[in-house]
Chain A
Amino acid sequence: MTTGPKLRLDSSLAPGVLAVALFVIMATIVLNTGFSPEMEGFEGVDSITAEIGYAMFDLEALQSTEGSIPDTEAFLAAFLLIAVALDAALDASLVLAKREEEGEPVAALASRGTGSDGAGSAASGVAGSDRSAATDGGHEGSTVDADRADDPGGESR
Chain B
Amino acid sequence: MTVPIEYYVLLSMALFCIGLFGILTRRNALMFLMSVELMLNAANINLIAFAFYHGNLTGQVFALFTMALAAAEVAVGLGIILVLYRNFRDVDVTVPTTMRW
Interface residues, chain A, with chain B CB atoms under 8 Å away: 12-13, 15-16, 18-20, 22-23, 26-27, 30-31, 33, 35, 37, 39-42, 48, 51-52, 55-56, 69-73, 75, 78, 82, 85-86, 88-90, 92-97, 99, 108, 143-144, 146, 148-149, 151-152, 154-157
Contact = CB atoms under 8 A, between A and B. Distances in A.
Interface string B82-97: 1111111101100000
A16 B23 CA distance: 8
A157 B28 contact: yes
Contacts of A72: 56-58, 61
Nearest to A91: B76
Contacts of B71: 89
Given A35-B6, A71-B58, A93-B76, A82 B65 contact: yes
B85 A92 contact: no
Contact of B30 (A23, A27, A86, A156): A156
Contacts of A99: 86
Interface residues of B, number: 53
Specify the main secondary structure of chain A where it touches its partner: helix
Contacts, number: 146
B57 A48 contact: yes
Contacts of A41: 2, 52, 55
Given A72-B58, A85-B69, A93-B76, A20 B52 contact: no
Contact of B55 (A30, A40, A86, A143): A40
Contacts of A157: 28, 92
24 contacts: A12-B27, A13-B25, A18-B20, A22-B20, A26-B16, A35-B5, A39-B2, A69-B55, A71-B58, A73-B56, A75-B65, A82-B69, A89-B72, A89-B73, A92-B79, A93-B76, A93-B79, A96-B80, A96-B82, A144-B88, A149-B86, A154-B82, A156-B28, A156-B31
